[in-house]
Amino acid sequence: MLVKEKTAMIKRIGLFAVVILCCFFASACSSSNQIQEQAETELTVSAAASLQNVLNEIKTDFENDHTNITLTFNFGGSGSLQQQISQGAPADLFFSAAEDKFQTLVDEGLIGEGKNLLGNDLVLIASKGVTSKVSSFEDLSAFETLSIGTPESVPAGKYAKEALSNLNIWENVTDKIVYAKDVRQVLTYVETGNVDAGIVYNTDALVSENVEIIDSAPKGTHEDIIYPVGILKESDHQEEAKLFYDYLQSEKAMAIFKKYGFKGLN
């Protein structure tokens, strides 16, 4: 009887151990699946073209700190991006170069939490290979071609038109203007010599080795250049979107923005 009891006890212990191991492996598999699901979280950020360089650097730092999140950027003119979102294009955050495009989405009930985050300046640029005596906006008549973003959809183009109008230059240069789909296209036109000059943000001029800044738009000639950022209410990843939204406001991210020439508003 003693031997049988010992054998039965050993069997029970063995069965219990098997159950424990099964539970352990099930838990491990569950945790592994959860980690895998987290790693597949992808945030889509619709952002102004002028943010391209700085956000790509911030992306690297953010993803190193949040290994379960991947950032995908959709860069373009703020007006075009706003229209895409209004028409149902998927996005988790919107980072605009103009308050009015951002406000449109707020008014449509599509933006949840949001904030005015950055400022910028407007500058006149020319290719470094171009020899010219032009030294200010007032000398624009000396150029044969000038590129700006399409004012209706590109904030930099709208600011450029405002500045030229307030400087009483607009009517004299309208026949010379080559419109671009976003501010980065303006920069490319100038870099490649397709136009003699262009009007872009200061931050765009700073990232190019092939252009030089001729002049800055005088204060008061255009609206303040403000970059708001916000979380889309329809985002399926509210928690992860909030993490990136908060990260953009961190000291680490703001230091990168300032390195690229953006101005903090706080």
Residue ranges of the annotated binding site for molybdate are 50, 78, 156, 183, 201
Residue with tokens 């400022």: 119
Within 13 Å and on the Cβ side, how many CA atoms surround 31? 6
Helices (H), the chain: 2-39, 52-65, 78-86, 99-107, 155-166, 170-173, 183-191, 202-206, 238-248, 251-259
Residues 155 and 226: their CA atoms lie apart, in Å, by 10
- Residue positions in the annotated binding site? 50, 78, 156, 183, 201
Left (φ > 0), alpha (ψ -120 to 50) or beta: where does 178 sit? beta
Residues 68 and 42: their CA atoms lie apart, in Å, by 9
Residues 240 and 69: their CA atoms lie apart, in Å, by 7
Q: Using N-to-C axis directions, what is the helix angle for 251-259 and 52-65, rounded to 10°?
A: 150
Let me know: does 200 contact 216? Beta carbons within 8 Å.
no
